Amino acid sequence: MNQLKEALETLKDTGVRITPQRHAILEYLINSMSHPTADEIYKALEGKFPNMSVATVYNNLRVFREVGLVKELTFGDASSRFDFVTSEHYHVICEHCGKIVDFHYPGLDEVEHLAAHVTGFKVDTHRLEIYGTCPDCAGKEVH
Amino acid sequence: MNQLKEALETLKDTGVRITPQRHAILEYLINSMSHPTADEIYKALEGKFPNMSVATVYNNLRVFREVGLVKELTFGDASSRFDFVTSEHYHVICEHCGKIVDFHYPGLDEVEHLAAHVTGFKVDTHRLEIYGTCPDCAGKEVH
DNA sequence: TAAACTAATTATAACAATTATAATCTAATA
DNA sequence: TATTAGATTATAATTGTTATAATTAGTTTA
Ligand SMILES: [Mn+2]
Ligand SMILES: [Mn+2]
Ligand SMILES: [Zn+2]
Ligand SMILES: [Zn+2]
């Protein structure tokens, strides 16, 4: 039920120390309900941790990724965004404002199987994103 | 039939000058049959063009992208890879050696439609990649 | 053809995201 | 308490890419 509590449990179980900075980063990720960049997290917490280094944010996001608490969404030039892991889902992304919306859809097992069959790869996973224009941006375009 | 010839036609039609550097970059993209980075192209051509700037490679890859001759494949940290546009296809990527293999599959119209319906987005396109282990790397792992 | 204009290339500097390094601090353990 | 390992901080370095300004090449106009 309490996502933060569970996340802290996961850290404890994997022998990762729970520092105030880690607690705050996790809390922010969960509460923001969005897909923040490392820098956004850094800036959001600088009131509470005026001396925190940006390296700490990156280091801890990597730790969280390694224990499976967050997923990193990477893009070409722009900075990575981080998603607190709940259930599997895809993302729909606005090409104009960059908004990212969660989108649930059954996994594409058939595509994975065909890819494995055709290429001889041992398939692990896949990445799918939908790109378009969000309702807000579509509204602005009209007039 | 001749991909290079067609590509040069496209450039001519869109009023883009055909310089020796552009000719060579296009030729390399078509003949390499792979997905090279800007730097790989730069290094491959430095014998023929010892004074070519890496900026020229980037500039021209952007030009080619804008007129629809190449697609840019972007990844998180790593550098972009460029794919001479032929028919629509997806990519299967080896997580160990980075190999990229073309993979043909009918478009995922159904996913796009559902995404549009659920999120209210005007959907343009999507991105799908399959990740796993290529046969070469799988072989090495075994012993 | 000569002059004027525009596009492309080059060399180099700047940028931005991320990672590495070394010093310091904190917490756990013996 | 002393020792050790882990975490954080401050800062430097790295890397892919883009911006800038000067130069060169090609095209258009007079
Ligand atoms: Mn998400
Ligand atoms: Mn391809
Ligand atoms: Zn938008
Ligand atoms: Zn491989």
Task: Choose the mutation target among A102, A128, A136, A142 for the interface with B, i.e. most B CBs under 10 Å.
Answer: A128
Q: Do residues B105 and B124 lie in contact, with contact meaning Cβ atoms separated by under 8 Å?
A: no
Burial class (CB in 10 A: 0-12, 13-18, 19+), B25: buried
Say what the pTM is: 0.90
Q: Is A136 on the interface with B (CB under 8 A)?
A: no
CA distance A68 to B113: 31
- The shortest C-alpha distance from A5 to chain B (Å) reads 30
pLDDT at residue B1 greater than cutoff 80: no
The mean of the pLDDT values for chain B is 93
pLDDT at residue A62 greater than cutoff 90: yes
- The shortest C-alpha distance from B137 to chain A (Å) reads 9
pLDDT digit string, tens, across residues A31-51: 998 999 999 999 999 999 999
Q: Which pLDDT score is estimated for B107?
A: 77
Q: Which pLDDT score is estimated for B78?
A: 85
Mean pLDDT lowest among A54-58, B12-16, B88-92: B12-16
**Of B118, B122, B124, Cβ closest to residue A103:** B118
Q: How far is the CA of A9 from the centre of ligand 2 (A)?
A: 43
DSSP element (H, E) containing A119: helix A109-119
CB contact under 8 A, A103 and B119: yes
pLDDT digit string, tens, across residues A78-102: 899 999 988 899 999 999 889 999 9
B76 pLDDT band, cuts 50/70/90, is confident
Q: Which pLDDT score is estimated for A20?
A: 95
A137 pLDDT band, cuts 50/70/90, is very high
Q: Which pLDDT score is estimated for A143?
A: 58
The token duo for B8 is 């040069």
Residues above pLDDT 70, as percent of chain B: 97
